[in-house]
Amino acid sequence: GAVVSQHPSWVICKSGTSVKIECRSLDFQATTMFWYRQFPKQSLMLMATSNEGSKATYEQGVEKDKFLINHASLTLSTLTVTSAHPEDSSFYICSARGGRSSDEQFFGPGTRLTVL
Amino acid sequence: GQNIDQPTEMTATEGAIVQINCTYQTSGFNGLFWYQQHAGEAPTFLSYNVLDGLEEKGRFSSFLSRSKGYSYLLLKELQMKDSASYLCAVNKRGSTLGRLYFGRGTQLTVWP
């Protein structure tokens, strides 16, 4: 199957700082990328959807000014958590769509964010 | 929401068979995914059902009834490594961005 990578795999930061997470599709061009957040023992919650070269579509309740998404190319999307606070600590997972099977999403390995 | 419902937890013993159910209520249904997720890892694809019926893939099978809004994932010859969370996710027709709607996940524990 198609491969999606995320970097970093984990990050610890101080409250008030910004953190950037990268999501890359390694062997296919991703027309659409999705960003999810997952709290312990809960399911994936979609935060936003981004198409290459256009603005991201945010889910209700997700602050677009706090979670900045850039999808600059067909293989790279970034999520920046600005002015992070402890409640932003979570597991952030990206997925990419656009491989051979247009319905399937391929998930990255996730990024564990801990805000102190 | 899309009213996707699945049991929160299930337990079974090694070598047994377990069936994880998922019901949904949504307009424009296009298909249903099953993913497996181990703690601290990303989900991995198990199956995708678009048409009614049973699809078998090794020890795992997935069933879909579109008229009943119902799917199940069947795991045979359970192994300890099958202990994980199993997520069903609905794909909607007309959703040009391919958005998936996830259930809460079923945490399966396999005992020796």
Nearest CA in chain A to B44: A107
State whether B97 and A32 contact (CB < 8 Å): yes
Q: Cβ B105–A108 below 8 Å, yes or no?
A: no
Q: Which of A49-63, B43-57, B63-77, B94-108 has the lowest mean pLDDT?
A: B94-108
Contacts of A34 in chain B (CB under 8 A): 99-100
Average pLDDT of chain B?
92
pLDDT tens sequence across A16-60: 999 999 999 998 888 889 999 998 878 889 999 988 878 899 999
pLDDT at A97: 83
Tens-place pLDDT, residues A49-69: 988 878 899 999 999 999 999
Asked if A105 is an interface residue toward chain B (Cβ–Cβ < 8 A), one would say yes
pLDDT value of residue A43: 83
B26-35 pLDDT per residue, tens = 888 889 999 9
Q: So what's the pLDDT on residue A112?
A: 95
Taking the CA of residue A73 and the nearest CA in chain B, the distance in Å comes to 16
pLDDT at B76 > cutoff 90: yes
Q: How far apart are CA B87 and CA B48, in angstroms?
A: 12
CA dist., res. B5 & res. B89, Å (int):
10
Do the beta carbons of residue A19 and residue A113 sit within 8 Å?
yes
B43 touches chain A (CB under 8 A): yes
Distance CA(A99)–CA(A2), nearest Å, equals 7
Residue A75 clears pLDDT 70, i.e. is over it: yes
A82-106 per-position pLDDT tens digit: 999 999 999 999 999 875 556 778 8
Contact criterion met (CB below 8 Å) for B73 and B86: yes
- Residue B95 confidence class, pLDDT cut points 50, 70, 90: low
The model's confidence at residue B2, banded by pLDDT at 50, 70 and 90, is: low
* pLDDT attached to residue B55: 94
Cβ separation of B102 and A43 shorter than 8 Å?
Answer: yes
Q: What is the pLDDT of residue A32?
A: 87
Paired tokens of B25: 């209520």
Q: Amino acid letter at B104?
A: R
- Which pLDDT value is given to residue B26? 86
- Comparing CA positions, the residue from A19, A108, A26, A22 lying closest to residue A67 is A19
Q: Which of A62, A68, A76 lies closest to A31 in space, CA to CA?
A: A76
Contact list in A for residue B44 (CB cut-off 8 A) is 107
Q: Which residues of B fall within a CB distance of 8 Å from A110?
A: 40-42
Checking if the pLDDT of A116 tops 80, the result is: yes
Confidence (pLDDT) at A102: 63
